[in-house]
Amino acid sequence: MTGEAKVTIVVADDHPVVLSGLAMLLNRVPGNEVIAACADGASALQKIEELEPTIACLDISMPRLRGLDVLRIVRERGLKTRIVILTASTDEKELIEAAACGAWAVLHKESAADALVGCLETVAAGRRWTWVHQAGCAAKMSADLVRDTRISKAAFLTPREQEITQLVSEGLSNKDIARATHISEGTVKIHLYNIYQKLGISNRTSLASYAHQIRASSTTSR
């Protein structure tokens, strides 16, 4: 994470090992501070109201209010905390419900640790993590996307992600991209993961092909 202000986080999961692991992982990221770890949804909602964290990272299904219930209440009460939903489910209806209720992100619990870190980095920067892979399919995670599937996926790439997409299409390796953009290889990998999630693809070959298609479309429309 970058920036002067701390990114404050509330985490909630009814499995003690998962909860402890989440808190430890996120506290290790510079700029993060986990200010509460809760074992149920009601406790998480109370801490969100009391502490007003930047982000609340919630299990989708918990006792005493599901993560989705907390999400809905936070939105109804106009609280500013950005909700990230964690799920082990492959139920697409739950994912669409999360998007419709205003989730900033939905991430599968089996995702790699750097994916979670990248996800929260994106949300902390004020951008929605718009795609999640579940059982091999991509589900839209933005309410706007749910309402309008005609929106171009490429519009959700940040300037840095667009730059990396361009460099991938030119055949550069992660190491070369890191050197060209003055960031670490690890950060390049996180950006690539974000890009794959947003575009609903799974590898750099597909990304390069997509970039070429976008350029061809732009040239044709001029």
The CATH number linked to 133 is 3.40.50.2300
Read off the pLDDT of residues 32-86 as tens digits, 9 standing for 90 and up: 999 999 999 999 999 999 999 999 999 998 989 999 999 999 999 999 999 999 9
Contact 48, 70 (CB under 8 A): yes
For all residues of the chain together, what is the average pLDDT? 80
pTM of the model: 0.60
Q: Is residue 1 part of a domain?
A: no
Q: What is the pLDDT of residue 184?
A: 87
Q: What is the pLDDT of residue 62?
A: 92
Q: What is the pLDDT of residue 169?
A: 87
Q: What is the pLDDT of residue 173?
A: 92
Domain of residue 211, residue span? 153-216
**39 and 62 fall within a common domain:** yes
Residues of the chain with pLDDT under 50: 1-3, 131-152, 218-222
Domain count, the chain: 2
